Amino acid sequence: MDDLSKYGIVSALQAIGGKWKPHILFILLEKGTKRFGELRRLMPEITQGMLTQQLRELEKDGLVTRVVYQEIPPRVEYSLSTHGKSLEHILREMCAWGFTHEEFKKMDKYASENG
């Protein structure tokens, strides 16, 4: 690994970073194909506009596949692309590290409060 390592990680962070993308990716990873409305129900805090925007970015990055069914009422389904699924291992590792990090911070706080 050379001095340009950072560029790879910057690209990765742009693809999966932000407030909502990890959550969306995990849902599609764990639960498979979902409609727009289902995603909204699974993420009650997100607004319609933000969900649309995040899905568009994930689609543009090739991580999520969007399928539109020309029906009345309209139906749109989202799923992970093959490329998106290649993130599974890294997402799970980040998740695991994050949990140990939370534990570490609690212990660290305890240590600093009690010597």
Residues binding DNA (CB under 7 A): 18-20, 35-38, 45-50, 52-53, 55-56, 66, 68, 73-76
Touching a copy of itself, residues 23-82 (CB under 8 A): 23, 26, 30, 61-62
Dihedral, CA atoms, 79, 51, 21, 4, nearest 10 degrees? 100
The answer to whether 5 and 13 are in contact (CB under 8 A) is no
The answer to whether 55 and 70 are in contact (CB under 8 A) is no
Q: Strands (DSSP E) along 38-100, which ranges?
A: 64-69, 75-80
User: CB-wise, 72 or 111, nearer to DNA?
Assistant: 72
User: CB-wise, 37 or 98, nearer to a copy of itself?
Assistant: 98
Could you tell me the smallest distance in angstroms from the CB atom of residue 70 to a copy of itself?
Answer: 22
